[in-house]
Amino acid sequence: MKTKLALLLNEYGESHQNPTNKLLHWMCVPLIFFTIFGLLRCIPMPDSMIAISQYVNISFLAILLTMLYYLSLSWKLFLAFIPWALVVVVGKDYLFQKLGPSNLLIASISTFALAWVGQFIGHGIEGKKPSFLKDLQFLLIGPAWLLNFIFKIVK
């Protein structure tokens, strides 16, 4: 019997067979993932939270929830995503400090939109709709699907 993660990865993979679509996903999925947390980082915290908001903010809480979702699917997936989660947390906070919230917001929206254009071009080439149109959890399966390829190489 296959695990829930294996079933989700297989279903996601069904609409990601074309090499060009796969390449576009390798570029766009990490950008989309990163920019979502950049966008969330731009949401101001309530005044009562300002003292800790440099470290605990909506983006940080969202990455924790994302990691809990991955843990619910597989502890190996959870552990493998820790380095990427650290890159996202540190990277978006660095950009927040260097660019400021307004510029990070503009950069995140722009990159997010361009990456989604790339995704839809890939699916146009593939001739299949994006998986998330069927089930929103596939928005979180995309990064896991990419990591699954890395697992196969490392084994």
Instruction: Determine, yes or no, domain membership for 155.
Output: no
Q: What is the pTM of this model?
A: 0.89
pLDDT of residue 47: 63
Instruction: Determine, yes or no, domain membership for 154.
Output: no
Instruction: Determine, yes or no, domain membership for 37.
Output: yes
Instruction: Determine, yes or no, domain membership for 4.
Output: no
Q: Phi and psi of 17, rounded to 5°?
A: -100, -30
pLDDT of residue 131: 86
Specify the number of domains making up the chain: 1
Instruction: Determine, yes or no, domain membership for 113.
Output: yes
Instruction: Determine, yes or no, domain membership for 7.
Output: no
What pLDDT digit, counting tens, does each position of 111-129 carry?
Answer: 999 999 999 999 999 999 8
Domain that holds residue 83: 21-42+54-149
Instruction: Determine, yes or no, domain membership for 135.
Output: yes
Instruction: Determine, yes or no, domain membership for 15.
Output: no
As a whole number of angstroms, the distance between CA 108 and CA 38 comes to 6
What pLDDT digit, counting tens, does each position of 25-81 carry?
Answer: 999 999 999 999 999 999 887 765 555 656 678 898 899 999 999 999 999 999 999
